């Protein structure tokens, strides 16, 4: 598991790292403070790590999750889903086999983030007709 956040997602990332400290093995790609950073740099670090196989999944966090998800999806092999509730966290894995999720720190609570992550991690890709569609995504 990879974590990456810009300054807008830093506080949520730190709380999640503390919560998952003994539950998951993860790598933190930053940022390490509230100082302004360029979110694409962090999104690319996490996405490249997942795309290369270094890690099988990642979590990106910024204020809205939008910039992180757009950037991550520029990397071949990445299927990053913006997850703003538990149901989206389940369906993005079940139907789209999302290998990265982006969380909107300004729009969800810590508890909601944990529920989204746990459901995403515990959901299996359904395959079948969904696999056919997922295979159509990359050009």
Residue 113, by phi and psi: left (phi above 0), alpha (psi -120 to 50) or beta? alpha
Report pLDDT digits (tens) over 10-58. Answer: 999 999 999 998 888 888 998 999 999 999 999 999 999 999 999 999 9
CATH assignment at residue 46: 3.40.1400.10
Residues labelled as active-site residues: 62, 95
Report pLDDT digits (tens) over 115-134. Answer: 999 999 999 999 899 998 99
Residues spanned by the domain of 98: 2-135
33 pairs with which residues across the strands? none
Give this prediction's pTM.
0.94
Identify the pLDDT of residue 63: 97
101 pairs with which residues across the strands? 59, 81
CB 25 within 8 A of CB 67: no
Count of structural domains within the chain:
1
What percentage of residues in the chain have a pLDDT greater than 70?
100
């Amino acid at each position: 598991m990879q974590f990456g956040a810009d300054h807008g997602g830093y506080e949520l990332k730190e709380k999640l790292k503390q919560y998952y400290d003994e539950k998951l093995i993860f790598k933190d790609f930053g940022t390490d403070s509230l100082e302004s950073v360029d979110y694409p740099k962090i999104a690319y670090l996490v996405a490249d790590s997942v795309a290369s196989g270094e890690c099988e999944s990642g979590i990106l966090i910024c204020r809205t999750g939008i910039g992180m998800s757009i950037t991550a999806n520029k990397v071949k092999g990445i299927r990053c889903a913006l997850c703003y509730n538990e149901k989206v966290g389940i369906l993005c894995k079940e139907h789209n086999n999302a290998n990265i999720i982006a969380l909107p720190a300004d729009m969800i609570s810590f508890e909601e983030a944990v529920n989204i992550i746990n459901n995403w991690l515990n959901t299996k890709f359904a395959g079948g007709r969904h696999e056919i569609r997922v295979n159509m995504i990359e050009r």
